[in-house]
A = this chain, B = another copy of it.
Amino acid sequence: MELTVYLAGQIHDNWREELKVEAQKRNLPLTFVGPQTDHDRSDQIGEAILGEQPGHYYRDDAASAVNNFRTEVLMRKADVVIGLFGEKYKQWNTAMDVSTAITLNKPTIIIRPDSLIHPLKELSNKVNVTVETIEQALDVLAYIYE
């Protein structure tokens, strides 16, 4: 049984690559989808398509429109959503994506360091499983196939 996994979360490091490599090592039949991970491209996509916008609010809104479109298309295809929170950045869009997944009754996992237990406690209580490492998230996915 092939499953599609949406990887929500920060795009400032290569955690998605690590996770994909690890999934391949384990031979799990998973397809991974997620947001644009080229940060500059993600921020500029609105103006790249729609042309220059009159200020930073409008520039951000145009980019978000295209990024949210992408997320919606791909999340509709996802069987599982994994959200990773790191110690830096606000990551409200990660919280938004994970919460959307929960409300759509998609099974969800969040990965977060011990240091974020307190600020993420409500979201953690709502998702199916909260883990601290990429390996643990894959353990949960691998368990489906046992």
Contact = CB atoms under 8 A, between A and B. Distances in A.
Interface string A21-45: 0000000000101001010010001
A73 B107 contact: yes
Q: Give the size category of A's interface with B.
A: 35 or more
A117 B92 CA distance: 11
A14 B120 CA distance: 22
Contacts of A144: 69-70, 73-74
Interface of A: 1, 3, 31, 33, 36, 38, 41, 45, 48-50, 54-58, 60-61, 63-74, 76-77, 79-80, 85, 89-93, 95-100, 102-105, 107, 109, 116-126, 128-129, 131, 136, 139-140, 143-144, 146
